[in-house]
Amino acid sequence: MLHTLLAGLLVLPDEVAPLGFQINWTKTKIQQVGEPRLTQPTVQVAAENVDLVNDFVYLGSLISHDGGSETEILRRIGITRDCFFLLEKNIWRSHIRTETKVQLYILPVLLYGCETWTTKTLEKCLDAFDTWCLWKFNEFHTPGTLPTRQSGVSPGACQFPIG
């Protein structure tokens, strides 16, 4: 299958040249979906090395070799947490309504690209992150006063990536 792809990539520069395009081989990546995994890190195409990758970011979303959403959802949660902490002093401590804070700063970061997610397996992680956000917004510091949504999931139900 890889040989067929490489043959197609060899004719690609000639096909796009009349349209005024050039192929940037250093930015080109090849991703194999499913099994078996390729063992070599690069392949040679038109005297240039092209990386073989398992995952890559395309238009802001992580595309995983297994076609699942788990790594992307956990990545988005981590990015949202980072955004949350960067805005903590100026936005979260301000007198802006909590609903406005969530709609303007949290939801766009968290839900970018969510149209393609399959969330059944990660529903508890998203609920736990939602609870964590509520906890941080309202500055509840005692476990007995922790707000919960319909699932009743605690923030410890899922390990969030920090970086």
Among 74-88, 101-115, 137-151, which range has the highest average pLDDT? 74-88
- In the chain, the number of structural domains is 2
47 plus 112 within the same structural domain: no
Identify whether residues 78 and 147 lie together within a single domain.
Answer: yes
Give yes or no for a contact between 124 and 149, defined as CB atoms under 8 angstroms apart: no
Contact (Cβ atoms closer than 8 angstroms) between residue 139 and residue 93: no
Query: CA–CA separation, 131 vs 152, rounded Å?
Result: 8
Q: Based on the fold, state whether residues 87 and 45 are members of the same structural domain.
A: no
**Stronger pLDDT, 121 or 11, i.e. the higher one:** 11
Greater pLDDT, 71 or 139 = 71
pLDDT for 158 equals 55
Residues 6+ away with beta carbon under 8 Å from 154: 128, 131, 146, 148
The closest of 34, 51, 33 to 42, measured between CA atoms, is: 51
Q: What is the mean pLDDT of the chain?
A: 76
Contact 113, 72 (CB under 8 A): yes
**Is the domain of 89 the same as that of 11?**
no
Q: Which band of pLDDT confidence, cut at 50, 70 and 90, is reported for residue 151?
A: very low
pLDDT of residue 159: 53
Q: What is the 3-state secondary structure (H, E, C) of 24-92?
A: CCCCCEEECCCCCCCCCCEEEECCEEEEEECEEEECCEEEECCCCCHHHHHHHHHHHHHHHHHCHHHHH
Could you read off the pLDDT of 55-106 as tens digits, one per residue? 888 888 888 888 778 888 888 888 888 887 877 777 777 777 777 777 777 7
Question: Domain range spanning residue 6?
Answer: 2-53
pLDDT at residue number 142: 46
Predicted local distance difference test score (pLDDT) of residue 157: 47
Which residue would you say has higher pLDDT here, 141 or 78? 78
Whether the CB-CB separation of 81 and 130 falls below 8 Å is answered with no
Q: What is the pLDDT of residue 21?
A: 93
- Count Cβ atoms below 10 Å from residue 126 Cβ, excluding itself: 20
Confidence check: pLDDT of 37 > 50? yes
* C-beta of residue 125 within 8 angstroms of C-beta of residue 69: no
* Residue 78 shares a structural domain with residue 107: yes
